[in-house]
Amino acid sequence: MATFFQHAGIAMIIVFIPIMAKDITESFLEVGFIVASYSLAQILSELYFGRRSDASGHRMVFIRIGFIVCAIVFGLHYFAVDALILLLARIFAGVGTGIMIPAFVAYSYELTGDGRKAATVVSFHALGWMVGILATGVVGDIGLAFLVSAAFFVAGFVLTLRLPETGFGSGPVEGSIRRIISRNRHLFWAVLLRHIAATAVWTILPVILVEHMNAELYHISIIYVVNTFTAFMIMNMMVRRIQITDRRKIQLGLAGIIPAILGMSIISEWWMAMPFMVLVGVSWAMLFVGGNFYLMERNPHSTSTGLFSSTISVATVIGPVIGGAIAAITDYQYVMYVSAAIAGGGLLSSIRIPTPPANTSNSCKRSTSPPHE
């Protein structure tokens, strides 16, 4: 449940930041930069703290620190009255989430000892997103949503006080970040291109729904809830009903996003986005679980999940700028066309992902000495 509150807190803010930013500035490009600042900070935070988590073995320390930082910073979003303050708030929010996300995914994987069971734990990420987005629609006020988001992080922190450490030990971690990236480069390229495409669309979609299709805040919540609920269901089905390799999950996830993005270019009413959001939910569940588990079976856990999440964050820096720039100079449908082409490049890269048998004995080599106190 702690991971549920973690992602509920994140989701209450992240979907509606473009709308808040657009209220502060008239420039789509500036909206893109504000959205991207969060991800840029998250990249650096995840790379550093993911590696530190593997080296120390104390997953729960990083998780709890992340909750505390996020509870403070997300609450401070309430006071963002101009573009500069909002930009700084998003940067520190990225640092806070980057501290705990890699450690939490690795913790879930190690605690269950079974990749399929871990999918159920990970599915609460999607459930948290669903509730967070729905809660924002119910609250109906973005400013108040920041305070509720902070409360979610406080609740998550309290729950972590009852969670045990995984006892993973501490010591030097084998394999440099550069080496991990090199041997998994086709996966990272695929994820990068897919998420550049997705975030280019998601940056402008809430604004388009409001300004061109007369959508209300709760309409946007409904659309995104469809996405996250679908992802939650699919992740749970991976425990027993969806028995395919992680590599195949990755490829299906990459293939599914392309028609979903193209579908967004033809909608004329807000509710028409919902069937395409179902497809987005299916594709994201496949890619998130398949990609993370593929990496953790072959690499140090928190480092590899940190790299996966950082790749998404890199894309979330690039994608909003691309989406904002295209929307600023031409019609928003062209954002969808360009994004679909970029996602197609990710699908092509996934074809080259190797399929060696998982070598769990070498997946996370490190010292088995007791944790440092």
For the chain, report the end-to-end CA distance as a whole number of angstroms.
Answer: 27
Establish how many alpha carbons lie within 13 A of residue 217's alpha carbon, considering only the half-sphere containing its beta carbon: 20
pTM of the model: 0.76
Name the CATH topology of 2-164+177-350: Growth Hormone; Chain: A; (1.20.1250)
Per-residue model confidence (pLDDT) at position 358: 46
CA distance 19 to 62: 31
Per-residue model confidence (pLDDT) at position 173: 56
Q: What residues does each domain of the chain span?
A: 2-164+177-350
Per-residue model confidence (pLDDT) at position 114: 56
Transcribe 106-170 into DSSP letters: HHHHHHHS-HHHHHHHHHHHHHHHHHHHHHHHHH--HHHHHHHHHHHHHHHHHHHTTPPP----B
CA distance 35 to 320: 7
Question: Helix, strand or coil for residue 366?
Answer: strand
Per-residue model confidence (pLDDT) at position 160: 92
The helix-helix angle for 2-14 and 59-76 (nearest 10°) equals 30
The dihedral over CA atoms of 25, 194, 260, 27, expressed in degrees to the nearest 10, equals 10
pLDDT in tens, the chain (373 residues): 688 898 888 888 877 787 788 888 777 777 878 877 888 898 899 889 988 888 887 889 999 999 999 999 999 888 888 888 888 999 999 999 999 988 888 887 777 665 555 667 777 877 888 888 778 777 777 788 889 999 999 999 999 998 887 655 444 455 678 888 998 999 999 999 999 999 999 888 988 898 889 888 788 878 888 988 999 889 888 766 777 888 999 999 999 999 999 999 999 999 999 999 999 999 999 999 899 889 988 888 878 888 898 898 888 778 988 998 898 888 888 999 999 999 999 999 999 998 856 444 344 443 333 333 3
